[in-house]
Amino acid sequence: MTTTAYERHLDRAHSLMSRRVRSGAAGLSGEIRSAPVTSSTLRALRSEVAATLARQHAPFAEAFGDALQQAYLEFTRPPAAKTPGQWLDLGAFEIMDESRIQEEIEVAQVVQILNEHCTVELRRLIKFEGALRRHEGVRVAASPIGPPCLARALWTASEGLDIAAPVRAELVRCVARWLAPRLSELYAAVRQAGFADASHLEADRATDASDDAASVTPPTGFDVTRPGALFELMDLDEQRPVFAASTAHATLERIADTQPMPLEGDDARIPDLIHSHREELAALQDATSSRLGVALIGHLFVQIVADPALSNEAREWLARLQPVVVRLAAQDATLLQSHRHPAWALVNRIVTTMSVDKGAPPPEFTQWLADSMAQVAADPSTATFQAAIDRLTHWQRKQAQRRLTSASVEGALELLQRNASQEELVAQAKARLQRKLDSAHPPSQTRRFILTLWSLVVAQEWTTLPAEARRNSPAMDTAVDVIWSTDKARSRADAPTLVAMVPELVERVTAGMALVKLSDAMKKAWLDQIAAIHLHAMRRPLGEEAIAGPVTVDLELDDELPPPPPPPAASAPPDTSSPLASLQIGDSVSLQLNGEWADLQLLWTSENGYFLLFAGNDGESRSFTRKALDKMVAQGLLRTADASSALQRAGDKIIRGRQ
């Protein structure tokens, strides 16, 4: 099937989804108003949501269609070539703090809402799209109209509605709740239309029946990180698979002296009987436990290897590792006591690194794996397994150091280091700038520029000023001008003022960026983005009237200095249960960004641990504050990539098999 067929499929999907959202948004305000709500706060929030949709449902639906179209392009077109030294992803220079990470949490929650009813039809749609793209050698693991893309499109569409953050979040959730029960029908309609266009795929319909089984797997309650969790899988019920496997080839014989005997309670033979068979009974108990342990390890490996995301090469390595782990279990009882045992760490490193979607692993990893496998096979001891993990950790740290000096990461690291060196002043500047932003409605790019970069410029300027002079600092005035000039509703009211102020404003912004010694490439990237926002603000769409009323450039929006910070509280002890507690340079985490899981490697942390710099598989950097990551952990949106994932999934599968 040609690419044209896939493009026709996406065109149909875009038309159907956009039309449904457009028709739904038009009537959704009435449904929101009529829905019973007990909380007065939520009632007020939804009242504002309903009023917003009643006024702006058309631009919202149009923006949704545009965002969805952009998502399709990302799926079908290769990324644009990056000219060395001239291409910058400004998102890589954004420091994601608690307020910014809240957007990621909102998108993730919308993904969960959209996922509630459509699992079976979504799986069928992805299978169909995979058939359309099979000739291209493209393995389709997600759909451009899947819940993550829809959630991002809804969130992007809400950006231009000029509403407060809580109202925006509730609006997107309301639309998602309306759309979720309709997704199965929409996915089925898109797929059926595709079958009509690609008749030779008709045979794939025969397999649809196998997809009807409920694919939403309820939580088992099994937590592999809980002490003794693996022992819970060794159920001694003879009907259970672990016990049955452990005794299948070794029938336990009864011991004659342990049969019921007509002995009196004070019979002198009782103590001697117990003593004479103590060792035999202990050996019997140990043999049973040993067989149960071997059987459990076998079942865990069966479930781990069955993961469809694993490459064939990974399955071969795991098959070779299983007998070694069994030999180790015979001499080290701690293997089944903790998910952190080096043997399970080795298993998880193989599983998380050698998946189908990640392509071929680095040659250094393959060499480490071959050497480690030879060593643990020759000496299956805990120390040998631990030595293998230590060697990999050392290599990962060296890899992180190499990535830290790359051009795509160096600028972000410098920005983070400057923030860390002036952390207190930057925090005060951000607090004041945030109030300025909350008083207006600039686009998200302006918000990120002000909070990521300009807060650092303000803090740098404040270091040269006495405290009483910071109220009217030039950098703060420049921030207000940038906010006003990029606020479409305000600046369009007085286009001549905007045109007149832009040249001088650009000079002030350029001087501010020079103050923090930004590279020429980064200066140009930021200025190009601001210029694009100004151009958009100056172009009033056909038919849009100028805003009536007096024109003012408001430089006094909430211009009070923040109160002095409270005295620092005693630092709380680190949360040892958090995945962040034991994170070291070179380690990897999985984090939900834009509603999808992404693997990131830790490259750098500030001395106080407040700022962390990661890099993804695409080579681009991502910067976070510790509080932002703690927020993600609390929402279940961050997990260590290789701490317990394979073992957790295997344990869940075993328990589901028994239910």
Q: Where are the alpha helices (DSSP H) in 225-362?
A: 241-247, 269-276, 278-305, 312-329, 342-353
Query: What's the one-letter identity of residue 231?
Result: F
Integer Cα distance of 174 and 113 in angstroms: 10
Range of the domain at 63: 3-92+99-211
Tokens matching residue 424: 């207190």
Same-domain status, 456 and 436: yes
pTM above 0.85, yes or no: no
The reply to whether 543 falls in a domain is no
* CA-angle at 244, arms to 243 and 247, nearest 5°: 85
Residue 48 host element (H or E): helix 40-76
Q: Are strands 596-605 and 611-616 parallel, antiparallel or unpaired?
A: antiparallel
Integer Cα distance of 24 and 172 in angstroms: 13
Tokens matching residue 351: 């599983």
Nearest in space to 455 (alpha carbons), one of 424, 489, 485, 486 = 424
Same-domain status, 601 and 525: no
Same-domain status, 510 and 396: no
Main-chain dihedrals φ then ψ at residue 598, nearest 5 degrees: -130, 140
Q: How is residue 639 annotated by DSSP?
A: E
The reply to whether 31 falls in a domain is yes
How distant, in Å, are the alpha carbons of 12, 85, 86, 620 from that of 82? 32, 9, 8, 12
HEC string of 116-162 equals CCCHHHHHHHHHHHHHHCHHHCCCCCCCCCCHHHHHHHHHHHHHHHC
Main-chain dihedrals φ then ψ at residue 638, nearest 5 degrees: -140, 135
Same-domain status, 11 and 150: yes
Q: How is residue 354 annotated by DSSP?
A: S
Q: Which residues pair with 612 in a beta bridge?
A: 605, 624
Integer Cα distance of 226 and 556 in angstroms: 55
Same-domain status, 63 and 193: yes
Q: Are strands 95-96 and 588-593 parallel, antiparallel or unpaired?
A: unpaired
Long-range contacts formed by 368-374: CB under 8 A, 24+ apart: 368/392, 368/395, 369/317, 372/346, 373/317, 373/320, 373/321, 373/324
Integer Cα distance of 36 and 391 in angstroms: 60
Contacts of 483 (CB under 8 A, 6+ apart): 436, 437, 440, 442, 446, 450
Domain end position, chosen among 479, 514, 538: 538
How distant, in Å, are the alpha carbons of 44, 319, 355, 466 from that of 315? 55, 6, 10, 65
HEC string of 456-502 equals HHHHHHHCCCCHHHCCCCHHHHHHHHHHHHHCHHHHHHHHHHHHHHH
The reply to whether 582 falls in a domain is no
How many domains, in total, are found in the chain? 4
The reply to whether 56 falls in a domain is yes
Same-domain status, 190 and 73: yes
Q: In what order do the strands lie in the sheet with 596-605?
A: 95-96, 621-625, 611-616, 596-605, 588-593, 638-640
Residue carrying the six token digits 């151009």: 535
The reply to whether 256 falls in a domain is no
At residue 260, the pLDDT reads: 41
Same-domain status, 236 and 120: no
Q: Which residues of the chain have pLDDT under 50?
A: 1, 84-87, 202-203, 206-216, 236-239, 243, 245-286, 541-571
Domain end position, chosen among 146, 181, 211: 211
What distance separates the 2 farthest-apart alpha carbons in the chain? 111
The reply to whether 574 falls in a domain is no
Number of Cβ within 10 Å of residue 394's Cβ equals 12
Integer Cα distance of 29 and 33 in angstroms: 6
The string of DSSP letters for 238-251 reads TTSHHHHHHHTTSP
Q: Where are the alpha helices (DSSP H) in 488-560?
A: 488-491, 495-515, 520-538
Same-domain status, 364 and 471: no
Nearest in space to 606 (alpha carbons), one of 454, 396, 423 = 423
The reply to whether 30 falls in a domain is yes
At residue 493, the pLDDT reads: 67
Q: How is residue 451 annotated by DSSP?
A: I
Integer Cα distance of 316 and 291 in angstroms: 24
**Do 624 and 96 contact (CB within 8 A), yes or no?**
yes
The reply to whether 505 falls in a domain is yes
Q: Which residues pair with 601 in a beta bridge?
A: 588, 615
Tokens matching residue 5: 């067929």
Integer Cα distance of 106 and 173 in angstroms: 8
Tokens matching residue 144: 């451009």
Same-domain status, 111 and 158: yes
Number of residues in the chain: 659
At residue 560, the pLDDT reads: 47
Query: What's the one-letter identity of residue 419?
Result: N
From start to end of 34-99, where are the E strands? 95-96
- Return the CA Rg of the chain: 30
**SS3 label, residue 187:** helix
Integer Cα distance of 536 and 252 in angstroms: 81
Q: Is 325 exposed, middle or buried (0-12, 13-18, 19+ CB in 10 A)?
A: buried
Q: Which residues pair with 95 in a beta bridge?
A: 623
How distant, in Å, are the alpha carbons of 33, 169, 195, 514 from that of 38? 13, 19, 46, 54
Nearest in space to 145 (alpha carbons), one of 168, 169, 118, 171 = 118
Tokens matching residue 218: 């309820």
Same-domain status, 515 and 635: no
Task: Estimate to the nearest angstrom the gap between the alpha carbon of 598 and the chain centroid.
Answer: 5
Q: How is residue 73 annotated by DSSP?
A: H
Distance spanning both ends of the chain, measured CA to CA: 43
The phi-psi region of residue 586 (left if phi > 0; otherwise alpha if psi is between -120 and 50; otherwise beta) is left
At residue 387, the pLDDT reads: 95
Same-domain status, 435 and 499: yes
Same-domain status, 648 and 636: no
